[in-house]
Amino acid sequence: MINLCLDLENATEDEDHPPPAEFKQWISAAIGDSMEEAEISVRIVSPEEITTLNNTYRNQQKATNVLSFPADLPDHIDLPLLGDLVICAQVVEKEAQQQNKNSKAHWAHMVIHGTLHLLGYDHIEQDEADIMEGLEINILSTMNINNPYLIPITQ
């Protein structure tokens, strides 16, 4: 089991987000056996803050669900710093509603997705996307959460 140090900060007035124990569970599941020890910061933000960050770092002038900022330490510094996740609660909740997904399951997916980015996974190229999505699906299935990439059938 990984020794995980989580710094969880809610920078909004909204308290409608999962408790720290669930964040730890999801992050630990994403890390798996790849690290014995890790330190990660998660900041829950408003649509305005994530829009600013998304514009600054990705040149996209819109709110997004999660941004990942991997730690970029010099080689001679040996710390278990994984990086930072910035999550917009309003976007995650809105997406869950729009996609007919369980809110907690969508939070789990976004945290796992962001953590995999911190571990170096990406989805720019299709082969990379296939690998990352496969990992997400497998990790989520260990928590009895359905494949998030299946489009729900509405009646």
Structural domain contains residue 122: yes
What is residue 14's predicted lDDT score, i.e. its pLDDT? Answer: 82
Do the domain assignments include residue 149?
no
Measure CA of the first residue to CA of the last residue in the chain; give whole Å: 42
Q: Is residue 127 part of a domain?
A: yes
Please report, as a single letter, which amino acid is at residue 131. Answer: I
Those residues whose C-beta lies under 8 Å from the C-beta of residue 7, and which sit 6 or more positions away, are 39, 40, 41, 42
For residue 152, tell me if it sits in a domain: no
- Total number of residues shown for the chain: 155
Domain of 66 in residue numbering reads as 3-141
* 9-47: pLDDT as tens digits: 999 988 889 999 999 999 999 999 989 999 999 999 999
3-state secondary structure of 46: coil
Strands 37-45 and 3-10, sheet pairing? parallel
pLDDT at position 19, please? 94
pLDDT tens, position by position, 127-142 = 999 999 999 999 999 9
Chain Cα centroid distance, residue 87: 7
Q: Which residue has the tokens 């040149």?
A: 59
Cβ neighbours of 38 (radius 10 Å): 23
In a domain, 68, yes or no: yes
- Residue found under tokens 């990379």: 128
- Domain contains 148: no
- Any domain includes 146: no
CATH number of the domain within which 62 lies: 3.40.390.30
In a domain, 96, yes or no: yes
pLDDT tens track for 54-103: 999 999 999 999 999 999 888 888 889 999 999 999 999 999 999 999 99
When divided into structural domains, the chain yields a total of: 1
For every residue of 46-100, DSSP letters joined together read: -HHHHHHHHHHHH---S--SEEEEE----TT----EEEEEEEEHHHHHHHHHHTT
Answer for the pair 27, 7: CB distance below 8 angstroms, yes or no.
Answer: no
Residue type, 44: I
